[in-house]
Structure 1
């Protein structure tokens, strides 16, 4: 199933590109054809015609992502609680948490530094010489959630029910850590709760198996929708900027792979075989959330104990978004270059560190990277309206950064497992996971 699904997704990706391009380029002839047939619908211009396609294709993508979001909250809660319970003591939990954060900060700094170097070498915005917009002009993006007070206050949940309803991963992680530690403290009397969490995880992974069968259709709709709405010309207009970002993401994959080789050894090569399906899902759907359940399963088959992967992976969705960090670096400095605004090196470094801090906990916020960039631009007197420059191609760049986020978090979990001396043996990568996945039923392999 896993191999066939990957093939179907690739086919859907190509068909979506062809279909979206064809619909966009033939809008006027198609309208003329329908009118000759006596079509009396109110859609009389190509813009409205394309908007109709966009609405229905977008609905398919939205349904798929809603199904994924339906899974994430109970799955994160169940896997985290089981993982913490099987760690046995708070000392192990603290040790794994500290090692995870060390890796997350190091990977974020690597991503930022690489992005800064490449922006200066490739200079994607130099030569555009755009006129500065009025100081009052805004991109229309709500930045209120990314003020310092809001960031800190938002970390702590007031209600786990509310946090789950909003799919706020960071708040779910905080509550699950408290809950798991409390279960460990109570001991044997809490055993029924551990069994319930194990059963919950098992059921949600089975639900994931059902939902992922719909993935190729959703991938087709998502890619086609982007081309129908924007057309291929938007890729041509900002093609060099997109190329620079993808060069940066490719180099980041290589550097992360080298680090994985250093810490995990030769097995790091096979890790990419295990995670190829979730990476492809994240890329096609432009959502790292969509790949979360499958990434858990892939790490389980790779040999990462569930007690580690179920803790590191949800935490990584808030603190280890390597692809998003790379993209925010490129976008922020691209805007400065496009408007001919000079920033000294110290200011650039300070701006990137600000991006790193304010980006924590952005998982689950729509267009979160754009919101963080908009909030940061204001602080450094850069025109917020510059966001509109990259908004047109944001979907295509979101595909790359989402896939990179999945790779970064999979490597993080594998490295932490190696540091803990707990990386187990691999299962054959091509074997289909059983319909009742065993993930979460045991703290060890």
Structure 2
């Protein structure tokens, strides 16, 4: 069990919070000064993560967009699948904004808990930026200086530029396109390697940061961390229900048959927390229980696993919206529009990244788009193991639902007029 990085990071967080809170209550100024010095090691670890965000996001966006374009070029079924994936991810992002507004209206982030988390973070609360006007938002979509946008952590214009760049690369001759994609793919792999190295020190970094949180916030932050886990988990669970119902209504499959099909895959998702590991079970259940032919299963399900994380933008955006509540930031409509676009783009681009790498690479850009500090994210990574279970269950449920919906559409299209009239 201790071999799991998530478990070690969670233990480090609990230990850091407890020792920091104990020092705040009982230790003298000398011990507190030592803890502040130790916390700087955590700040170094956090900055090491932050330095990879811009090059990693740009690289995976360029290669990811080119990959989607290549998949779309393989045929009508692939195009249909990709279009439905983009629509579903957009729905997932918008749904999360609406769900978060309702959830926090019923169960708001407490002022004391938010203050405790803010006190524990190394960034000051006033780092949150003012919401731009609609005019400033539209003007800012195209960065006049891409290098400056990257250095300023202006993620939205950077994502817009990377998207245009990625589509432009697909129009180049094969040799030139291959060279550029190989270059950015190498950059992405190098950044992932760096992040892997940094995450090896995650227990140490989170422990050091946890000491500081415990020292300044005591145990007051613990309740809000539990609030965060409940918020993200319930978002994922509710989206799983949406995917479940979509299969029943749009895919027109009976409740009993759908339950028998999806339940074993959901159990595998709970155990493995990996959509890829569930792919063989998804193909088998779709073929044997739903009667979907291999020509559909063999294209739709692998494409869904590669590109479609239905709960991805929801969970990622949910984290950013929680951080916004902690800092008392209320995004404008323009900011919501921009962050939905970034959520969909980063979800499509970063699905091939390992879980803890994708957590920071997917959520930090959303926080930066909303003008929020990212200093709380390392604390939230430590408890990601719980929401990640429901995230994976939602993803495999949505993959199977997408497969069923596409197959239903294929059958309706392929049915001869006489047969259609007879069925009617």
2:234 pairs, out of 247, 251, 270, with 251
User: Which runs of 5 or more residues in structure 2 are unaligned?
Assistant: 74-78, 112-124, 248-261, 280-300, 344-362, 405-424
Identify the residue that residue 103 of structure 2 maps to in structure 1: 114
Deviations 1:76-98 (A, max 9, x none): 22222222222225967766444
Q: Residues 17 and 211 of structure 2 are in contact (CA less than 8 Å); yes or no, is this contact kept in structure 1?
A: yes
Higher helix share: 2
1:229 pairs, out of 209, 216, 223, with 216
Deviations 1:188-226 (A, max 9, x none): 131111222222222222222211111110110111110
Quick check: 1:8 aligned with 2:4?
no
User: Which runs of 5 or more residues in structure 1 are unaligned?
Assistant: 29-45, 126-138, 276-297, 336-349, 373-393, 423-445
Normalising by structure 2, we get a TM-score of 0.58
Identify the residue that residue 322 of structure 1 maps to in structure 2: 318
Identify the residue that residue 32 of structure 2 maps to in structure 1: 50
Q: Secondary structure of 1:185's partner?
A: coil
Cα distance change of structure 1 residues 173 and 117 upon mapping to structure 2, 3 Å threshold: same
Quick check: 1:191 aligned with 2:173?
no
Aligned mates of 1:408, 1:156 — CA distance in 2: 36
Identify the residue that residue 169 of structure 1 maps to in structure 2: 155
Aligned mates of 2:378, 2:231 — CA distance in 1: 12
Cα distance change of structure 1 residues 231 and 172 upon mapping to structure 2, 3 Å threshold: same
Normalising by structure 1, we get a TM-score of 0.55
Aligned mates of 1:165, 1:182 — CA distance in 2: 24
Alpha-carbon shift at residue 248 of structure 1 (Å): 4.2
Q: Residues 100 and 416 of structure 1 are in contact (CA less than 8 Å); yes or no, is this contact kept in structure 2?
A: no
Aligned mates of 2:387, 2:221 — CA distance in 1: 23
1:154 pairs, out of 115, 133, 140, with 140
Aligned mates of 1:260, 1:15 — CA distance in 2: 38
How many residue pairs end up in the alignment? Answer: 323
Q: Residues 12 and 216 of structure 1 are in contact (CA less than 8 Å); yes or no, is this contact kept in structure 2?
A: yes
Q: Residues 324 and 405 of structure 1 are in contact (CA less than 8 Å); yes or no, is this contact kept in structure 2?
A: no
Q: CA RMSD in A?
A: 4.9
1:85 pairs, out of 63, 66, 79, with 66
Identify the residue that residue 93 of structure 2 maps to in structure 1: 104
